[in-house]
Structure 1
Amino acid sequence: MNRILGILLCVGAACLSGLASAQDFPTKRVTIVIPFTPAGSNDTIGRYLADGLAKLWSTPVVVENKPGAGSAIGSAHVAQSRPDGYTLLFVSGTFTTNAATQSNLPFDPVKDLKPVGMGALGQMVIVTGSRVPVNNLADLAKAAKTQKIFYGTTGVGSSTQFAGELLNDVAGIKMEPVHYKGGTDALVDMAGGRLDVYVGTVTQVLSSVASNKAKPIAIASKTRSKAMPDVPTVAEAGFAGAEADIWWGVFAPSGTPDAVVTKINQGINTVMGSPEATEFLAKHGAMPAAMSVAAFGDHVTKELAKWRELAVKHNIKAD
C-alpha cells in the first residue's frame, strides 16, 4: 500500500512539475530552425513569428537557418533535439510533400516531430496561357480531354506538381507535367506560348496576370483571394476537392510536454492573429490561420495521407 502511495505521489509530483515548467516557459533563449536559406517566404514569415514571440515572452527567440535536402536537414536537426520546447521547427507544407515522395528521410515525420501550430496559410491559383484559350476551369477540363495539355511545376514532388495532379484527379483529365527549376521559368514559358497551365501562389503570378501573360481561372482554396476577388474558387467552378493551399507551421521534437506545446501554440496564435500580422502576411500572399494543437495535428495527418496516396497513384518520387 505504501509503495502504491509512493508511486502515486511521484506521478503527481511529476505532473505538477510539468505544469510548473509550462507556466514558467520560456526561461531561456528559444531557437526556431528554418530549414531553408535566408530570404524567401519561409524565412520572412518565420522571422516575423520569432520576433513576435520574443516580444510576447520577453525572452530571446532566435532564428537558425539549416537548409538542405528540401528541408530534411533542418527538420532532422530539430527531431533529434531535446524535447523541451526550446528548439522548434518552422517549415512549410513541404514537410508533408517530402514525406510523401522521399523514402529515405533522416527522421520519421510522424514519430519524431510533434505538430504545434499553424503559422499562416497561402493560396494557390490556376492560371492558363495563350495556347489554351479557355475562360474557366470547365473549359480547361473539356480542352484537356481533346488535346494534350502541359502544366508547369517547380520540380518533381513540389507542391505545384501535387496541385496539378490533384486537379487531374478531380477533373478526370491527364495534363502532362513539365518540370522547371522555379516558378519564374514556368511563367516565362507560359508568356511565350510554350506552356498551358501553372498552379502557383497568388503572389507569384500577380505580375503575369497584370500584364495579361497569364489568365487566372480558379483559386485552389476554399475561399476567394483578396488579390483576385473576381476569380472563383475551384469548388465554385464545380471542382471541389482540388484545393491545394500552402501553409507554414511549427513543430517540436516528439516528447515535448503537452503543456509546453499548448503554451507555444497560444503564443503563435496571439502573434500571427494580430491586425499587424494580418497586414504583414497579406504583403506576402498569406493570411492568419489560427489552429489549436489538435486541429493542426489533424491538418498535418490528413495532408500526409492525401499526398502519399497521390504520390503512389502517380508514381511521384523525389529520392
Structure 2
Amino acid sequence: MRTRRSALHALASAAAMSAFPTSVLAQAASDFPSKPVRYIVPFAPGGQTDVMARLIGQQTGIEFKQPITVDNRAGASGNLGADLAAKSPPDGYTWLAITLAHAVNQSLFSNLPYSLEKNLTAVAHLASSPLVLVVNENNPAKNLAEFLAQARAKRLSGGSSGNGTPPHLGLELLALNAKLEVTHIPYKGGAPSLNDLLGGQIDFIVSNLPEASVHVKAGKLRALAITSAARHPLLPDVPTFNESGLPGVELENWTGLMVPAGTPVAIVDKVAASAIRALKLKDVSERVAALGFAPTGLGPAAFADILKKDVARWREIVKTRNIQPG
C-alpha cells in the first residue's frame, strides 16, 4: 500500500513541478526580452553571415527595445559557436546564426558535440544565395559546354574556401553530375582562392555569388553557370546549370537563425516574427540584395523542414564523394 501511495505521490509531484516551469516560462515569453540578447555568429566578423546577423540584430533590437549583441565565435568550421549556443540556457537570450555548412557538418564530422536536430531549434530561414562557376578571363571557355570539354580533356584544379564549405560542395556537385575528375584545392577562405584564380594558379571555382560577382563585373573573371533554379538579378546574363544542359547542379547557400532546444514556443515565434518583419523593411531588403542574398523570411516549421532535407541530401553526397573535413 505504501509503495502505491509513494508512486502516486511521485506522479503528483512530477505533475506539479512540470506545471510550475510552464507557467513561469509563459510569463517569461510575454515579457521577452527583458534584458540584452547574445547573437552568436560562428564565423569571423565581416563575412556574409556576420553582416546578415548584424542587420537582423539591429532591427529586432529596435523592435524589442533591447540590445542584440553579436558575439563572433569563429572556429572548427562553425562548430565552435554552434556548440556554445546548443549548450546555452533555453530562455531565448541566446541566438545562433547558421548556414548551409552547419547542415553539412552533421555528416562531415563524425564526433560533433551537438546535434542541429536535438540540441537546437529552428527559428527563421533568413536569406539564400546561389553559387557561380567562374574561370579566369584568359580561359578560352565561353560557356559551360566548352568548360566541360576542357575538363574532360585534362584534369582541372578547382579551388574552394575550405573542405565542406559551399564552394567545395558546388565543386563536388559539378564533378558528380558531369562525371568529372577534378583536383580540389582548399583555401582558408574565399578571398585567397579567388586571388589564385585571378592569378592563374587554379582553373576554376564554384564560388559564392557575392564574392565572385565583383570580379565578374570588373571583367577579370568569367561566369559560366549559376547554381540557382533561375537566373540571378546580379548576373542576369549568366545561365543556370540546367539551362546549360547539366541538370542536378542546384545549390543555394543560406543563413538562418536558431536557438537552444527547449526554448519556449512563444519566444521562438516572437523572435521569428520580428526577424521576418525586419527582412521586409526596405533598407534591410536592399542591403540583403546588395550582399547577393534573396530574403526568404521563412518561419520555424518551414526552416526545420529545409534543415531536415539538407542534412539528408548532403549526408548522401558527403558519403558518395568521400568528402572529408579539413
Please say whether Structure 1 and Structure 2 have the same fold, judged by a TM-score greater than 0.5. yes
Seen in structure 2, the aligned counterparts of structure 1 residues 144 and 77 have a Cα distance that, compared at 3 Å, is: same
Residues 48 and 291, structure 2, Cα contact 8 Å, conserved in 1 = yes
Task: Find the counterpart in structure 2 of residue 315 from structure 1.
Answer: 322
Residue 178 (1) aligns with residue 202 (2): no
My pick for the range that moved more, 199-208 or 48-57, is: 199-208
Q: Deviations over 1:268-300 (max 9, x none)?
A: 111122211111112222221111211111111
Residues 120 and 248, structure 1, Cα contact 8 Å, conserved in 2 = yes
Contiguous gaps of at least 5 residues in structure 1: none
Task: Find the counterpart in structure 2 of residue 63 from structure 1.
Answer: 70
Residues 57 and 68, structure 2, Cα contact 8 Å, conserved in 1 = yes
Residues 126 and 257, structure 2, Cα contact 8 Å, conserved in 1 = yes
C-alpha displacement at 1:6, in angstroms?
Answer: 11
Residues 170 and 241, structure 1, Cα contact 8 Å, conserved in 2 = yes
Q: Which amino acid aligns with 2:143?
A: N
Q: Secondary structure at the match of 1:240?
A: coil
Q: Deviations over 1:121-142 (max 9, x none)?
A: 2221111236752222233333
Of 130, 135, 145, which aligns to 1:128? 135
Residues 137 and 219, structure 2, Cα contact 8 Å, conserved in 1 = no
Residue 288 (1) aligns with residue 301 (2): no
Task: Find the counterpart in structure 2 of residue 230 from structure 1.
Answer: 237
Q: How does 1:1-319 map to 2 (within 5 A)?
A: 18-129=25-136, 132-318=139-325
Q: Which amino acid aligns with 1:186?
A: S
Residues 33 and 89, structure 1, Cα contact 8 Å, conserved in 2 = yes
Q: Secondary structure at the match of 2:233?
A: coil
Residues 107 and 311, structure 2, Cα contact 8 Å, conserved in 1 = yes
Residues 126 and 256, structure 2, Cα contact 8 Å, conserved in 1 = yes
Task: Find the counterpart in structure 1 of residue 3 from structure 2.
Answer: none
Seen in structure 2, the aligned counterparts of structure 1 residues 8 and 101 have a Cα distance that, compared at 3 Å, is: closer
Q: Secondary structure at the match of 2:33?
A: coil
Q: Distance in 1 between matches of 2:197 and 2:37?
A: 44
- Give TM-score scaled by structure 2 length: 0.87
Q: Secondary structure at the match of 2:296?
A: coil
Q: Which amino acid aligns with 1:153?
A: S
Residues 42 and 73, structure 2, Cα contact 8 Å, conserved in 1 = yes
Q: Which amino acid aligns with 2:166?
A: S
Q: Secondary structure at the match of 1:290?
A: strand
Q: Distance in 1 between matches of 2:25 and 2:296?
A: 28
Q: Deviations over 1:38-63 (max 9, x none)?
A: 22222222111111101111222222
Q: Which amino acid aligns with 2:203?
A: D
Q: Percent identity?
A: 31
Task: Find the counterpart in structure 1 of residue 6 from structure 2.
Answer: none
Q: Deviations over 1:38-91 (max 9, x none)?
A: 222222221111111011112222222222222212111111111121111112
Q: Which has the larger radius of gyration?
A: 2
Q: Deviations over 1:205-230 (max 9, x none)?
A: 13322343321011111232211111
> How many pairs were matched up?
318
Q: Distance in 1 between matches of 2:73 and 2:188?
A: 21
- Give TM-score scaled by structure 1 length: 0.89
Q: Which amino acid aligns with 2:113?
A: P
Residues 96 and 303, structure 1, Cα contact 8 Å, conserved in 2 = yes
Q: Secondary structure at the match of 2:116?
A: coil
Contiguous gaps of at least 5 residues in structure 2: 1-8
